Amino acid sequence: MANTEEITGPVSQEDIEAAEKLKNEANEYFKKQDYNGAIELYTKAIEKNPNNAVFYANRSISNLRLENFGYALTDASKAIELDKAYTKAYYRRAAAHMSLGKYKLALKDFEYVTKVRPNDQDAKLKYNECNKIVKKIAFEKAISVDNMDMNIANSINLDAMTIEDDYNGPALEDGKVTLKFATDLMEHYRQQKKLHKKYAYKILIDVKAYLQTQPSLVDIKVADNQKFTVCGDIHGQYYDLLNIFALNGLPSETNPYLFNGDFVDRGSFSVECIFTLFSFKLLYPDHFFMSRGNHETIDMNRMYGFRGEVTAKYTSPMADLFTEVYNWLPLAHCINNRVLVMHGGLFSRDDVTLDDIRNVERNKQPPEEGIMCELLWSDPQPMLGRSPSKRGVGCQFGPDVTNAFLQRNNLDYIIRSHEVKNEGYELAHDGKCITVFSAPNYCDTMANLGAFITMNGKDLKPNFTTYEAVPHPYVKPMAYANSLFSILCQS
């Protein structure tokens, strides 16, 4: 729900009481993790009484939970405008800034709280933690993995890594992924065991080398009688990934897949997900496809757990190598010249063509605007035209934008992911814009179904399979996330 501009002024006692009641109802929805329901009620409370900073701060944290960082930022700023001494609002705004990679702006909010509350030890702790992050990022930039002269993959000495005698896990055969390796790896991970670092590094080096040969827009040909499967976000939910393969069959040359970004972060089995997917990519390079999502980026990985998980399970240099690999993931795929698949959505410009996507120089962290950014971040909206993004990045696009893009590029429809849907999928824009989300009960809290799409090459008609979450070992989502960010987003 969009945040509207409220006109402040005198409010009757009756409206104040009604607003307080709505806020209390909203708090109950929030406790049940129904964040959309909570936002709706906080919005109604604001309509009754637009002068209460708490309502905005509460709506801000609800939007943070839904990754609506733009809305969360606006609400936190409004709460601060109404009550400059409201500490929690500064923390909300800091969390929104951190989500958007604006760490220095987050630090300013913490600094302000420490100045107005010099004896507040909690504020001091948060300021110090954020300051550490800012300094660490400055240091990382100085030796940056974005520095094109630096190549982590070339600096890895595989020959110096020995396989210990007691290692009894999956092994590459002559340095190659085989079907036996892939299936052994899945079972190994199911038992919560670790792949040897030598094999892990070899997979990353080989995947990077392959991805460097690929265009930013990959064309996929599917034969008339062949099945093709598109999956949405996985977000580190490894046991649900195994369930997809149980329901739909393992990837193979006769059972091709496209995974549409956000393989990692939030879920705490992201390492297991990404190495399983990369193994199939190496095994079936022409029948297994992977698009970059907005979470295959350094800022998201730093905040939402993947970088922490790789560092905990392996090393910090491996986390840097992942960043290098992710920079080469394709940004979109086109099936039989008729269906375009990208993680986020369409564009703030009317004149974008498939060739424009093909010509994007993708080997970098996504910019804050333009084609690459919007492919990873944009969302559809029901109303015509375009709106600023609820996420604070990319844009929101209406059915007219979708239709014009499809006509210009001779396409039938688009598939995108990027948003949790209760049924695991959603048809928007008269069925021309399909969202698919494959992480059921997202973050163990959302109670949504997961879904994947199957189609055949002849008519490309989308068929939807939905499924519930399966049990997984007791490791909480965000277990490896930045500790300061986790505190801000949970409190």
The DSSP H or E segment spanning 192 is none
Decide: 92 and 109 in contact? Cβ < 8 Å. no
The pLDDT of residue 3 is above 70 = no
pLDDT (tens digit, 9 = 90+) per residue, 423-475?
999 999 999 999 999 999 999 999 999 999 999 999 999 999 999 999 999 99
Helices then strands, each counted (H, E), the chain: 19, 14
- Pick the catalytic residue: 97, 235, 287, 295? 295
- Are 452 and 465 contacting, i.e. CB atoms less than 8 angstroms apart? yes
With CA atoms as reference, report the closest residue to 61 among 96, 37, 106.
Answer: 96
pLDDT for residue 149: 54
Strands 386-388 and 395-397, bridge-based pairing: antiparallel
**What CATH number belongs to 13-142?**
1.25.40.10
In CATH, what number does 152-485 get? 3.60.21.10
Name the band, by pLDDT with cuts 50, 70 and 90, for residue 8.
low
Among 22-26, 148-152, 240-244, 475-479, where is mean pLDDT lowest? 148-152
**255 forms bridges with which residues in the sheet?**
252
Q: Are 457 and 440 in contact (CB under 8 A)?
A: no
What pLDDT is stored for residue 2 in this prediction? Answer: 45
Q: What is the C-alpha separation between 344 and 340, in angstroms, rounded? A: 12
For strand 433-436 and strand 386-388, is the pairing parallel, antiparallel, or unpaired? unpaired
Q: What is the pLDDT of residues 18-73, one digit of tens each?
A: 999 999 999 999 999 899 999 999 999 999 999 999 999 999 999 999 999 999 99
User: CB–CB of 221/460 below 8 Å?
Assistant: no
Cβ atoms within 10 Å of 267's Cβ, excluding its own: 34
Going by pLDDT thresholds of 50, 70 and 90, the confidence category of residue 1 is: very low
Can you tell me the distance from the alpha carbon of 396 to that of 284, in angstroms, rounded to the nearest whole number? 35
The yes-or-no verdict on residue 201 having pLDDT over 60 is: yes
Active site residue 295: yes
Q: Is the CB of residue 80 less than 8 Å from the CB of residue 373?
A: no
**pLDDT given at position 147:** 52
The span from the CA of 300 to the CA of 302, in Å, is 5
Residue 77 CB neighbour total at 10 angstroms: 17
Q: What percent of the chain has pLDDT over 70?
A: 96
Token pair 């580190």: residue: 236
pLDDT of amino acid 488: 82
Low-confidence winner among 114-128, 146-160, 299-313 (lowest mean pLDDT):
146-160
d(CA 452, CA 230): 6
Of 277, 217, 207, nearest in space to 411 by CA: 217
Residue 442 tokens, joined: 């997202």
- The pTM score is 0.95
Q: Which residues contact 224 (CB under 8 A, 6 or more apart)?
A: 456, 457, 458
For residue 305, pLDDT beyond 60:
yes
Domain boundaries along the sequence of the chain = 13-142, 152-485
Residue 125 has pLDDT above 50, yes or no: yes
Q: What is the pLDDT of residue 407?
A: 98
Confidence (pLDDT) at 328: 98
Please compute, for residue 328, the number of CA atoms within 13 A of its CA located in the half-sphere on the CB side: 18
- pLDDT of 144 reads 62
Residue 368 has pLDDT above 90, yes or no: yes
CA distance 269 to 272: 5
The one-letter amino acid code at 274 reads: I
- Whether the pLDDT of residue 151 is over 90: the answer is no
Give strand pairing partners of 395: 388
Same fold, 13-142 and 152-485: no
59/46 Cα distance (integer angstroms): 10
Q: How far apart are CA 485 and CA 130, in angstroms?
A: 9
Structure tokens at 478: 């965000």
Cα 345 from Cα 418, distance rounded (Å): 9
